């Protein structure tokens, strides 16, 4: 099987290394690079058309990232009768139904294991579960960068900025880390997972709150309550309604999520007959992600088809499907926004009881308009989270 790689950064070079030192049935014969990239290997070319029109190339691996030109390149490859494998979560989250339909029209495969969970075989096992079960919950730590930051802030007692700098130095965070720390990376992975689990096209907008504003004082306070903070993506289905949310969540210090350290991921699903399945492993990095790409290449080589999805289930997105408690650290003048809710003050923070997720995220936008450094985290509504948290003797009920 002859393979072309589009892009030769960290992931692209990792794929090349694994194939070059592995199964002789696979060979990289072309590497597409931008004109500004020096051609340092004989396989490198700036001529995409030559790759698309080469009848000997069976598979195109897209590792360029971003929406454009990746969207056009993937479509062109499928339309030229090439199988496509990608690690590009942003483009898959937005165009998965389109890519799948075009691949079927041209009798080729479109695989994307590496988009979600790095080296964890999450997509493949989610597909296997969905063949039999109705999946009703997806939840977990989907982003290694944010997990590394929160873990180091807690265990090494560090502030946010120096940990973020360390994450950049170690290659966990990009020069612009916004997608990781603001939750957009998790949104894309959650959209892909939910689309497969529920056989539907994901919503355009997902309630999202990241970790950009978390402080050492927040982490220390949660630790004093025997709680650990993690950035979590969660989707839940109830009949023909489903929810999706990305937000910081508190876990008991003995929970599995609380003990998922460094840049590791922990993702779970729940199905009606299989119950809970949890997957743990490297969520990012050169070789874990490249490994997932090569696993997809093996599936193509060995004609091992993946789950066939039409993404046409008529489900209704409901941001308020979940009702839970939140803790808010903000300017006290913002607390009045929650006067119609049951609340209590704990160590200058406001705990809001049993508020729908969508409502809380809307109110949080108003809080941020007054206090741009405000931070919130959800407390309950998780099978892995502690049910009794943030209890102190000096609580004051104000709602």
Q: Which residues are catalytic?
A: 189
CA distance 39 to 28: 15
CA distance 180 to 343: 31
CA distance 371 to 364: 10
The secondary structure of the chain, three-state, reads: CEEEEECCCHHHHHHHHHHHCCCCCCEEEEEECCCCCCCCCCCEECCHHHHHCCCCCCEEEECCCCCCCHHHHHHHHHHCCCEEEECCHHHHHHHHHHHHHHHHHCCCCEECHHHCCCCCCHHHHHHHHHHHCCEEEEEEECCHHHHHHHHHHHHCCCCHHHHHHHHHHCCCCCCCCHHHHCCHHHHHHHHHHHHHHHCECCCCCCCECCCCCCCHHHHHHHHHCCEEEEEEEEEEEECCEEEEEEEEEEEECCCCHHHCCCCEEEEEEEECCCEEEEEEEECCCHHHHHHHHHHHHHHHHCCCCCCCCCCECCCEECCCCCEEEEEEECCHHHHHHHCCCCEEEECCEEEEEEEEHHHHHHHHHHHHHHCCCCEEEECCCCCCCCCCCCCCCCCEECC
Candidates 352, 356, 355, 357; CA nearest to 390 is 352
Tokens of 315: 């489900």
CA distance 390 to 4: 54
């Amino acid at each position: 099987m002859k393979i072309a790689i589009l892009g030769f950064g960290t992931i692209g070079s990792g794929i090349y290394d694994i194939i070059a030192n592995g199964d002789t049935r696979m060979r990289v014969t072309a590497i597409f690079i931008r004109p500004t990239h020096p051609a340092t290997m004989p396989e490198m070319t700036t001529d995409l058309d030559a790759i698309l029109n080469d009848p000997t190339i069976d598979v195109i691996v897209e590792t360029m990232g971003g929406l454009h030109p990746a969207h056009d390149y993937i479509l062109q490859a499928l339309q030229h009768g090439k199988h496509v494998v990608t690690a590009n979560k942003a483009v898959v989250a937005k165009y998965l139904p389109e890519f799948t339909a075009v691949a079927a029209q041209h009798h080729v495969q479109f695989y994307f294991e590496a988009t979600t969970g790095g080296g964890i075989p999450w997509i493949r096992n989610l597909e296997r579960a969905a063949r039999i079960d109705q999946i009703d919950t997806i939840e977990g730590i989907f982003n290694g960068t944010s997990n590394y930051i929160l873990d180091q802030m807690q265990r090494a007692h560090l502030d946010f900025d120096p940990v973020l700098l360390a994450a950049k130095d170690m290659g966990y965070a990009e020069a612009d880390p916004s997608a990781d720390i603001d939750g957009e990376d998790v949104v894309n992975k959650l959209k892909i997972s939910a689309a497969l689990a529920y056989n539907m096209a994901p919503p355009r907008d997902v309630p999202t709150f990241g970790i950009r504003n978390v402080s050492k004082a927040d982490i220390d306070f949660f630790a004093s309550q025997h709680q650990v903070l993690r950035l979590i993506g969660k989707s839940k289905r109830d009949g023909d309604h489903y929810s999706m949310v990305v937000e910081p969540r508190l876990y008991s210090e003995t929970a599995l999520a609380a003990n998922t350290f460094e840049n590791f991921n922990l993702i779970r699903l729940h199905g009606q007959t299989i119950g809970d399945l949890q997957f743990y492993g490297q969520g990012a990095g050169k070789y874990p992600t490249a490994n997932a790409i090569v696993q997809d290449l093996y599936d193509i080589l060995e004609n091992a088809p993946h789950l066939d999805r039409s993404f046409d289930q008529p489900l209704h997105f409901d941001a308020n499907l979940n009702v839970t408690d939140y803790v808010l650290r903000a300017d006290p003048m913002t607390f009045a926004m929650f006067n119609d809710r049951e609340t209590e003050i704990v160590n200058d923070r406001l705990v809001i009881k049993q508020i729908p997720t969508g409502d809380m995220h809307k109110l949080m936008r108003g809080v941020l308009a007054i206090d741009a450094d405000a931070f919130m985290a959800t407390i309950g509504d998780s099978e892995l989270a502690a049910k009794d948290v943030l209890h102190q003797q000096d609580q004051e009920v104000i709602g």
